[in-house]
Structure 1
Amino acid sequence: MPEAPLDLLLLPTWLVPVEPAGVVLREHGLGIRDGQIVLIAPRSEALRHPTTEVRELPDCLLAPGLVNAHGHAAMSLLRGIADDLPLMTWLQEHIWPAESRWVDEDFVRDGTDLAIAEQVKGGISCFSDMYFYPQTAAECVHNAGVRAQITVPVLDFPVPGALNAAEALRKGLQLFDDLKQHPRIRIAFGPHAPYTVSDDKLEQIRVLADELDAGIHMHVHETAQEVAEAVAKHGERPLARLARLGLLGPRFQAVHMTQIDDDDLALLVEHNCSIVHCPESNLKLASGFCPVERLWQAGVNVAIGTDGAASNNDLDLLGETRTAALLAKAVAGSATALHAHSALRMATLNGARALGLESQIGSLELGKLADVAAFDLSGLAQQPVYDPVSQLIYASGRDCVKHLWVGGKQLLDDGRLTRMDENELIARAKDWGTRIASK
């Protein structure tokens, strides 16, 4: 039988598969059929395959779509509302009161749409969301065509959309059941932090996560104060408490982890946990420095996240990755720490692994889903190009993102959103800003 034609053949100047590590393929083509990568071959060979559509991408670097492994999407509507404050002051005196006053399903819908559009324009094909009304966020993800992990929020006190943890878990289980066959959405549990969730609720989450093979996504060791207070209250560090309660494991996603001692590192290695590093939020809130190079050398999977726009203040994962690379060198005291190729891996395959999606996305390999980003390196500031990955990480911004495909569907075409109305999103965000500022 004749070979079925490719749906799309992409012909960039450089193709960076991420796996194998450190590889840059020049003048190669990538073929997509039925949403999957089915061909990676030299340009001349790729052009011999029958193809429905061919896209020439001169001066572009083709790489996996970026994976934003931690954020609070709807908080894009609180961008800049409480800047230049320490974490607990920012959280307790400003963010939580604002959320109590304003967060409802409409807020989450409009804020999540705004965040998705910003992320798509920045080359992010998949993100993890930790916020309220997860069913509403899931609807936004479904409609936008992007990929996401949506977490079920669990705290010891009432939150928007749930009067208590029991209601939050009940709704979360229903959402898990509703979306268990969804091709682009994965549901996980999102206990906020060790200091806001009691032992009994954490144990319940552990049981449910084991039964459902679901991820657990949690802020852990974000500040030195958090760790000191936990030791004073419980007689043990938060990570040790989570280990005692049985939460640690390959599905556990520890966000921030700026405070790590030898015992913490041993637990992370023993249980094969993933760390989600949020360098710019940590810097802005003066929370501390995650020792990325030390974790990397110990074999711990380190992904990267932007955190929410209220504490960053953007959802620019490419910029976040540059910050992570530079900060890792300063913290390690070594210019060789977290080189450019490793930084890109942290923003792609490591993020996919943290979310349990490494067999599907995060690298450009045959059989994987076609989540692909094209970065334009033709600009003045990128010349000359000796190592395109170094130019991407150290000399480029998200304005170089030209195209993005998720499962072979194009969500960004020459910098323009294909499924969302940018002007409408801006108008809705401005309306929220006017309403919130007036109060």
Structure 2
Amino acid sequence: MTANTITAADTRINARWLIPVEPFGVVLEHQAVILQGSRIAAVLPQTDADQKYRTRETINLQQHVVLPGLINLHGHTAMSLFRGMADDLPLMTWLNEHIWPAEGKFVSGQFVLDGSKLAMAEMLRTGTTTFSDMYFFPEVTAQAAHDIGMRAQICFPLIDMPTVWGSGPDEYLAKGTDLIAQWRKDSYIMPAIGPHAPYTVSDQPLKAAVALSEKTGAAIQIHLHETAFEVEEALKVSGQRPVARMADLGVLGSNSQYVHMTQINEADVELLNQAGGHIVHCPESNLKLASGLCPVQKLIDSGMNVTIGTDGAASNNDLDLFGELKSAAMVAKVVAEDATALSAHKAIEMATMNGARALGREHELGSLIAGKLADLIAVDLSDPFLQPVYDPASHLVYSNHGRAVSHSWIHGVPQLQDGRLTRIDVPDLMIRVQDWQKHILS
């Protein structure tokens, strides 16, 4: 590009601060992000952008920090319709006596459509641009996310028992194979395999899941070592800790994601490192259900890729990933007994680049560099509760909440403009949500 060359592009975003994530730990000031189509064309100082680019629109965000869109790597989106329904209960009581019976009564394709849209509205409003879902009727959530324009890893459920979505493992695997075939080449939807947990899925379905993953490249996501009770029961039944059993069955691997991991010892960490894969930390759900504390800094120090998720709104009770980052950083310091554990920049990396790595899309997502997909957000730091600003990264993790997110783009398309959703009819959605509330209460 010569000194006199002016390049045309679609959108210029002027940011007071910018956290590109790559390189790590950097906060830049007075930067411009240039978008062309679905990609980032350039990230450069605003004075340089004045000389090099002419854009169709310019968005001035002079009190904002711009960063990559957040990646929420675990949730059950449709369960947003169960938010607050069965609180202050231990996990197995919560599941066996409340959630599973409610799912049997109320879950349907329409329930999943409305619940997933409610979750997507909340996630978009609070900075998430990519999410992972593990729930019934995954074909419905996949289509809804695609229509709205959100990126989503859609994990079809695999469990030994019959559910509203199928009669058992054979039917789940057959439907899941079709889901993978339909979406595997899509830029927005990433189909994956979701065996529920070691205590709900027997050996043969797990082996079939591994075979399907190896054949198609689809990731496996599984709840693993979520509670002490799970580990104790596994030892009684098989004499093996769940991680060891998963290793023997081939479930552990570079394309696998392990959710929760609150109960781990040195042998578990060694097996995980040998096999590879990714940890999905869900601190607020773990805290609320008293499931335990994931030793995040220990896992990071061992070389594991640690990502973050909210879990479902029925056990959290929100899908605000910024709140999750604060909880993750706080809990990590207490568990490690080290105030330097999980710094603000490391927490942001968990929700951006680390999530992209777990999805196998680190070359396209997770940081703001030229050539990557234009998935990014802006957070308004002008409110009194965010003033004064000494370190924007610290504010995002320790002072911010997701409602300060003002703008987001996915694939270069605006999804949130000045706090308003552009692709979801919120008033219509709220009518349907209220109808569900009345139906469930009755």
Superposition TM-score tier, normalisation by shorter sequence: over 0.9
The runs of at least 4 aligned residues of structure 1 exceeding 4 Å deviation read 1-4
Instruction: Tell me the alpha carbon deviations over residues 262-321 of structure 1, each in whole angstroms, 9 at most, x when there is no partner.
Output: 011011111221000000000000000000010111111110100000000000100011
1:203 matched to 2:203? The reply is no
- Native 8 Å contact 2:180 2:218 kept in 1: no
2:218 is the alignment partner of 1:184: no
3-state SS of 1:302 partner: strand
Which residue matches 2:40? 37
C-alpha distance in 2, partners of 1:132/1:356? 24
5 Å-filtered alignment, 1:13-412, equals: 13-48=16-51, 49-412=53-416
Of 12, 15, 37, the match for 2:15: 12
Residues 39 and 412 in structure 2, CA contact (< 8 A), matched pair in contact too: yes
C-alpha displacement at 1:47, in angstroms? 2.1
Query: C-alpha separation between the residues in 1 aligned to 2:50 and 2:135?
Result: 45
Normalising by structure 2, what TM-score?
0.98
TM-score under structure 1 length normalisation: 0.98
Question: Does the Cα contact within 8 Å between 2:86 and 2:98 map onto a contact in 1?
Answer: yes
Instruction: Choose from 414, 423, 438 the match for 2:418.
Output: 414
**CA offsets per residue over residues 16-43 of structure 1, 9 Å max, x none?**
0111110111111111112111101111
Name the SS of the counterpart of 2:322 in structure 1: helix
In structure 2, distance between residues paired with 1:253 and 1:75:
21
Question: For the residues of structure 2 that align with 1:200 and 1:223, how far apart are their CA atoms?
Answer: 24
Aligned partner of residue 214 in structure 1, secondary structure? coil
Q: What SS does the corresponding residue of 2:56 show, helix, strand or coil? A: coil
- Equivalent pairs counted in the alignment come to 438
What is the CA distance between 1:109 and its match in structure 2? Answer: 0.4
User: Tell me, what secondary structure is at the counterpart of 2:268?
Assistant: helix
Question: Deviations 1:238-267 (Å, cap 9, x if unpaired)?
Answer: 011010011111111000000110011011
The CA distance in 2 between the partners of 1:230 and 1:355, in whole Å, is 29
In 1, the alpha carbon distance for the partners of 2:233 and 2:6 equals 64
User: How many percent identity over aligned positions?
Assistant: 51
Q: Distance in 1 between matches of 2:56 and 2:436?
A: 43
- For structure 1, the 5+ residue unaligned runs are none
| Structure 2 unpaired stretches of 5+ | none
Q: Distance in 2 between matches of 1:327 and 1:139?
A: 36
Residues 1:430 and 2:434 aligned together = yes
- The residue identity in structure 1 corresponding to 2:28 is L
Matched residue of 2:286: which SS?
helix
